[in-house]
Amino acid sequence: MKNTLKKALALVCTAGMAAGMMTAPVMADDAGKSLSICIITSSGVDDGSFNQDCYNGILAFLEDHDDCTVSDIKEGDYAQLVPTVEKSAGDFDVFVLPGFNFAAIGDIVKSNPDKYYIVVDSTIQDSEGNPVTADNVYTMTFKEEESGFFAGLAAALTTTSNKVAVVNGMAFPSNVNYEFGFMSGVNYANMNFGTTAEIVELPSYAGTDLFGNNVGGNYVGDFADEATGKVVGEALIEEGCDVIFVAAGASGNGVFTAAKEASGVYVIGCDVDQYDDGVSGDGNVILTSVLKVMHSNVTKQLEAIYDGTFAGEDALLGADTDSTGFVSEEGRHQLSEDAVEKMTACYELLKAGEICPASSTQYAVDDFPGLN
């Protein structure tokens, strides 16, 4: 196992290392004011996954507030995402910003205290790299390693070739969390449920995290590159993988296509229930989907802004707030009854803190609380 996976950087679960900082509500006098909302994304609000779930949270809010509006801006150049927020500051009341690339909006936030910012998947910092917390900002990060863990369990409990893999977009912390969580789940199943699944990694697609560490895995290098996603998917299938967890945004659609063109290959969806995206002729390639529940949390914060109870916070969300999990609804997955039973039992252990999968910041995939 690679050295980067051997580091145990903390002795407590992720939940204990990032407690949210609650501040006083802001602009309560504006309660009931109609809101102009803007969501800015790099790959559109119709990616069928991460961005779309955030957008759906806005749409759910608008259903009950017809005096409010939403505009979506797609900016494919990652370097222009933060400048797009800055130049749009005077046009909207609320910004919903999905993705790690919005981490550097700290100066913008401080310069526009009368605007609200809901940032998904990152905390924020100023131009000098200093952390920023502010009354007008709610950041939500997630314990993606929890959902990745269930993907690993599902893969190990289902594979018949005993070869499984995870495909990611870019090696941002959230994606590395998914990767390490997946590997943790496979290792847990192998140790506790008698499975013998092997995790396949393609060296030519290994990821490099923000600190320059090689984190392995299979990284497309983008969240909107379906062509490369298909190439990676085909390469893994050629290696014998029959279950592939896909955490790659719109790039993951290419992996789905590769699975549909193959035979006997399942994919595991990410962030939202992707069962409908798995339809292939009379069949479906989706084994299950693991969840990062953004929509309800986005809706909740918009409601708070509208009714004047909003409070700035850096929130870390997981199973304990029903913000991670997996799809077990009848007709929306193809897991065996045995797999669902085992995964459900593990969910309770995880929710209770008895299982803490490895993440980008703590524990190793072969040495985490609850593994033995």
pLDDT digits (tens, 9 = 90+) for 308-336: 999 999 999 999 888 999 999 999 999 99
User: What's the confidence (pLDDT) of residue 240?
Assistant: 98
- For residue 179, pLDDT over 50 is answered with yes
- For residue 27, pLDDT over 70 is answered with no
> Residues 329, 332, 335, 336: is their CA dihedral positive or negative?
positive
- For residue 68, pLDDT over 80 is answered with yes
Report how far residue 27's alpha carbon sits from residue 215's, in angstroms, rounded to the nearest whole number. 43
Domains of the chain from N-terminus onward: 14-142+294-321 (3.40.50.2300), 144-292+328-351 (3.40.50.2300)
User: What's the confidence (pLDDT) of residue 124?
Assistant: 97
- For residue 188, pLDDT over 70 is answered with yes
User: What's the confidence (pLDDT) of residue 5?
Assistant: 36
| pLDDT tens-digit map of 213-225 | 999 999 999 999 9
State both tokens at 63: 């259903």
Place of tokens 């990611």: 168
> What is the pLDDT confidence band of residue 361, given thresholds at 50, 70 and 90?
very high
> What is the pLDDT confidence band of residue 6, given thresholds at 50, 70 and 90?
very low
Q: Are 174 and 121 in contact (CB under 8 A)?
A: yes
Which H or E run contains 253?
Answer: helix 252-261
Where residue 194 falls (left for φ over 0; alpha for ψ -120 to 50; beta otherwise) is left
User: What's the confidence (pLDDT) of residue 33?
Assistant: 79
Note the residue count of the chain: 372
- For residue 111, pLDDT over 50 is answered with yes
Report how far residue 247's alpha carbon sits from residue 174's, in angstroms, rounded to the nearest whole number. 10
What would the mean pLDDT of 58-81 be, rounded to a whole number?
Answer: 97
| pLDDT tens-digit map of 237-262 | 999 999 999 999 999 999 999 999 99
- For residue 25, pLDDT over 80 is answered with no
pTM: predicted TM-score of the whole model, two decimal places: 0.84
